[in-house]
C-alpha cells in the first residue's frame, strides 16, 4: 500500500556537519509537511509545501535549516551546520491537497529520521 | 494563540477496560480537531477528525471522540482496549481564521496491562 518513505532512518553526525533528510511523499499527494519531535517540545511543525512551493516555514530556524522540493516525488530538509540541539526525530507527512486548507488535511506520516548530533 | 492540552502524560489501563483520553484546546472559534496515534518507532496515523456536524465522531480501530464546545474538549474514547492499542496518542487543533496553524498536544502514552 502507498506510504511515505523517509531516508535515512537513523543518522549520527558530529556538530558542524551538514545533514540532509529525504522524504518521498505518497504518489499523487501535493502537500508535504516537515515536523520535528523532541521530548521537551513535542511535535513541532517546521514547514509546509503545496505543489512544491513553500507556503509556511515559520516554524523553521532560518539560519541553519532549509527545505526544498526538487520535484513532486522528493522533499528534502537540510541542516547546515548541525548542532546538538537539533537532535530529534524528523517526520515528513504528505496529504492529497483536497481539503480546503492545509491544516484540514489528513496527513500521512513517514516513519521518521532519528537524528543525533554529537 | 491557540493551544492544546493533554492533561495526562501517561495512562495505564487493563486489557478489556474502557479508555478515555482527554484533550482541551484554547481557541476563539470552532477549530478543526484531530486525534493521531503513534506506535513505537513509527510515524503518526490519523484516528479520527472533527470539522463540523455531529459532535460524536467515529474513527478507526474502534475509537470515537466527542466534541464539547462548552468545555473546549475533544476527548477520545474506546469501550474496550486491546494490547495493540498501547501507543502514544496526540490531539491536534487546526485553526482556519487569521494565521492558520496546526498545533499538537504533548501526547498521552497509553500502557495496557494484560
Query: Over the range B65-87, which residues count as b (16 or more CB within 10 Å of their CB) and which as e?
Result: bbbeeeeebbbbebeebeeebbb
* Mutate: best of A91, A96, A104, partner B, most B CBs <10 A: A104
Strand A88-95 relative to strand A74-79, pairing: unpaired
Q: DSSP code of B57? A: E
CB A73 within 8 A of CB A4: no
Helix (H) or strand (E) holding B113: strand B108-113
Q: A41: which strand partners?
A: none
Q: DSSP code of B18? A: -
Residue scoring higher pLDDT (B30 or A16)? A16
pLDDT recorded at residue A62: 87
pLDDT digit string (tens) for B36-80?
999 988 889 999 999 888 899 999 999 999 999 999 999 999 999
What residues in A contact B90, CB-CB < 8 Å? 43
Closest CA to B19 of B59, B62, B56: B62
Confidence band, pLDDT 50/70/90 cuts, at residue A100: low
* Mutate: best of B44, B47, B52, B87, partner A, most A CBs <10 A: B44
How many angstroms separate the most distant Cα atoms in chain B?
Answer: 47
CA A56/CA A44 separation, integer angstroms: 13
Residue B97: how many other CB atoms lie within 10 Å? 10
Closest CA to A79 of A13, A10, A9, A5: A13
CA A76/CA A92 separation, integer angstroms: 9
Q: A13: which strand partners?
A: A117
Asked if A45's CB is within 8 angstroms of B32's CB, the reply is: no
Average pLDDT score over chain B: 91
pLDDT recorded at residue B13: 97
Asked if B49's CB is within 8 angstroms of A106's CB, the reply is: yes
pLDDT recorded at residue A106: 83
Q: A89: which strand partners?
A: A37, A114
pLDDT recorded at residue B100: 66
Asked if B43's CB is within 8 angstroms of A110's CB, the reply is: yes
Looking at the predicted structure, is the pLDDT value of residue A98 above 80? no
Confidence band, pLDDT 50/70/90 cuts, at residue B98: low
pLDDT digit string (tens) for A37-94?
998 888 888 998 988 998 888 889 889 999 999 999 999 999 999 999 999 999 999 9
pLDDT recorded at residue B57: 95
Q: What phi and psi, each to the nearest 5 degrees, are found at residue A116? A: -125, 120
CB B89 within 8 A of CB B11: no
CA distance A89 to chain B (A): 10
What residues in A contact B96, CB-CB < 8 Å? 100-101, 103-104
CB B84 within 8 A of CB B110: no
CB A48 within 8 A of CB A102: yes
Mean pLDDT over residues B102-109, rounded?
Answer: 91
Asked if A102's CB is within 8 angstroms of B43's CB, the reply is: no
Amino acid at each position: 500500500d502507498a506510504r511515505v518513505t523517509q531516508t535515512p532512518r537513523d543518522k549520527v553526525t558530529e556538530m558542524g556537519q551538514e545533514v540532509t533528510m529525504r522524504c518521498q511523499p505518497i504518489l499523487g499527494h501535493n502537500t508535504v509537511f516537515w515536523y520535528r519531535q523532541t521530548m521537551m517540545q513535542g511535535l513541532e511543525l517546521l514547514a509546509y509545501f503545496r505543489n512544491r512551493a513553500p507556503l509556511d516555514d515559520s516554524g523553521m530556524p532560518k539560519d541553519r535549516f532549509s527545505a526544498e522540493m526538487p520535484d513532486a516525488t522528493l522533499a528534502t530538509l537540510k541542516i547546515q551546520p548541525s548542532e546538538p540541539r537539533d537532535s530529534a526525530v524528523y517526520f515528513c507527512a504528505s496529504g492529497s491537497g483536497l481539503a480546503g486548507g492545509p491544516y484540514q488535511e489528513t496527513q500521512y506520516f513517514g516513519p521518521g529520521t532519528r537524528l543525533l548530533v554529537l | 494563540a491557540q493551544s492544546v492540552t493533554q492533561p495526562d502524560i501517561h495512562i495505564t489501563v487493563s486489557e478489556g477496560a474502557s479508555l478515555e483520553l482527554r484533550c482541551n484546546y484554547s481557541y476563539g472559534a470552532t477549530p478543526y480537531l484531530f486525534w493521531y496515534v503513534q506506535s513505537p518507532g513509527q510515524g503518526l496515523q490519523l484516528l479520527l477528525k472533527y470539522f463540523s456536524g455531529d459532535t460524536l465522531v467515529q474513527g478507526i480501530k474502534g475509537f470515537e471522540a466527542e466534541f464539547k464546545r462548552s468545555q473546549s474538549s475533544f476527548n477520545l474514547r474506546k469501550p474496550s482496549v486491546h494490547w495493540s492499542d498501547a501507543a502514544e496518542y496526540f490531539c491536534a487543533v487546526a485553526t482556519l481564521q487569521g494565521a492558520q496553524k496546526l498545533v499538537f498536544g504533548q501526547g498521552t502514552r497509553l500502557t495496557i496491562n494484560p
